[in-house]
Amino acid sequence: MLRIAVLGCGRIGQMHAANVARHPRAKLATVYDVHAPSAERVAAAQGVTAAANPEAVFASPDVDAVLIATATPTHADYIEMAVAAGKAVLCEKPIDLNLARVNACAARIAGTSVPIQLGFNRRYDPGHSAARAALLAGDIGDLHQVIITSRDPALPPRAYLEAAGGLFRDMTIHDFDLARFMLGEEPTEVFALGNALIDPGLGAELNEVDSAMFILRTASGKQCHINNSRTAVYGYDQRVELMGTTGMVISDNRKPNELRRYSAMQTEAAAPYQFFFLERYHEAFMAEIDGFVDCVEKGATPLASFEDGRRALILAEAAYLSMREGRMVKVSEVTA
């Protein structure tokens, strides 16, 4: 049983704490939050003792690993502290909103043997995984086109948006990662376009967009389209399509159950899709912990690495440059 401490007791930290506590191969060691009462509440619910500060967590001999689910600006610091303390790391995305900070972190932890896994949960989704497995098995021949549809169920509150670092770094970053995961080679060019269609105020006041479309291309010519919307009233819309020379696979949306309704007005009507990532990706989050335990206990390579986190952020940077200049941007322009 891997003893994992969860740092951060917000929405996603609470979920991780419960998942770790219930995972057959993991044990919740402790929890910490900058807001002590939050940590206390989660600790009580899971039957553990909250840690007073991060230092105590990193120093504890009863902690094998940390799951970082705190506010984004602390991620890189905690990764560095964890590596220094020899604690394995599972860190929520993004590593940081600032690429320079990510690069500095990368330099500081270079060469460490401490396992570091990024929280790109979608890589662990049964449907998305099966799509990639089919590709790797040669079931669709050579991959030509990837289509990723990724729409959140509802626009988050303004306060969240102000801190999130922009749609491309907060939301699309998952899709950039998924694109890389599926394409099997680095995108070398990015085109991006965004608008504030759901809440036009976002554009005027935050310089933010809520609806976006992207095209990525790899050096060998593989093409990828991503579309994003902050609101999909029919539920969290998460689809991946891989089109190749001998076939296609689609990882479609998951419904809460398989009920179909028939009436004088319609047939085969299903329920709205699972509301959001907590429901939709529950199995993925559990599998992510499973993969993390394998990394620590068996020395497995993380399916999503620190470098994957850095690469996804680079694509977000390139996308912002593309949107500003209305042109295809070479990824090398933002890494040079």
The least distance separating a copy of itself from the CB of residue 238, rounded to whole angstroms, comes to 10
- Return the residues of window 258-287 that contact a copy of itself according to CB under 8 A: 258-273
Selected from 130, 163, 204, 219, the binder of a copy of itself by CB under 8 A is 130
Measured distance CA(223)–CA(216) in Å, rounded: 6
**CB of 334: closest distance to a copy of itself in angstroms?**
16
CB of 212 to a copy of itself, least distance (A): 8
19 binds a copy of itself (CB under 8 A): no
Our CB check for a copy of itself shows the closer of 88 and 202 to be 202
Residue type, 4: I
Residue 258 or 299: which CB sits closer to a copy of itself? 258
Shortest Å distance, C-beta 193 to a copy of itself: 6
Peptide bond into 94 cis (omega under 30): yes
Q: Nearer to a copy of itself by C-beta: 79 or 232?
A: 232
**CA–CA separation, 182 and 109 (whole Å):** 27
Quick one: 98 or 231, whose CB is closer to a copy of itself? 231
Helix 11-22 crosses helix 36-46 at what angle (to 10 degrees)? 20
Using alpha carbons, select from 213, 169, 129, 113 the residue that is nearest to residue 310: 169
- Looking at beta carbons only, is 173 or 249 nearer to a copy of itself? 249
Does residue 145 interact with a copy of itself by CB under 8 A?
yes
Residue 166: name the closest of 179, 176, 153 by CA: 176
Q: Is 87 helix (H, G, I), strand (E, B) or coil?
A: coil
Look up residue 245 and give its two tokens: 């020379």
Q: Which of 93, 153, 129 is nearest to 240 (CA)?
A: 129
Residues from 76 through 95 that contact a copy of itself (CB under 8 A): none
Cβ-based nearer residue to a copy of itself, 10 or 256 = 256
CA 334 to chain centre: 22
Binding-site residue total for a copy of itself (CB under 8 A)? 74
Report DSSP letters for 291-311, one per residue: HHHHHHHH-PPPSS-HHHHHH
Instruction: State in angstroms the smallest separation of the CB of 147 from a copy of itself.
Output: 7
The tally of CA atoms less than 13 A away on the side-chain side of residue 103 is 7
Residue 273 φ/ψ, nearest 5 degrees: -65, 165
Nearer Cβ to a copy of itself, position 160 or 234?
A: 234
Three-class DSSP category at 20: helix
Least distance (Å) between residue 34 CB and a copy of itself: 26
Q: How many residues does the chain have?
A: 336
Is the C-alpha dihedral spanning 165, 171, 174, 176 positive or negative? negative
Judged by beta carbon, residue 107 or residue 264, the one nearer a copy of itself is 264
* Cβ contact 292:156 at 8 Å: no
* CB closer to a copy of itself out of 56 and 278: 278
Q: How far is the CB of 36 from a copy of itself (least distance, A)?
A: 24
How far apart are CB 234 and a copy of itself at their closest, in Å?
4
Determine which residue in the list 3, 41, 101, 144 makes contact with a copy of itself, applying CB under 8 A. 144
Site string for a copy of itself, 225-264 (x = CB under 8 A): x-x-x-xxxxx-------x-xxxxxxxxxxxxxxxxxxxx
Contact code string over 185-224 relative to a copy of itself, x by CB under 8 A: ----x-x-x-xxxx------------xxx-x-x---xxx-
Q: Is 299 in the site for a copy of itself (CB under 8 A)?
A: no
Q: Cβ of residue 76: shortest distance to a copy of itself, in angstroms?
A: 33
What's the start-to-end Cα distance of the chain, in Å?
Answer: 43
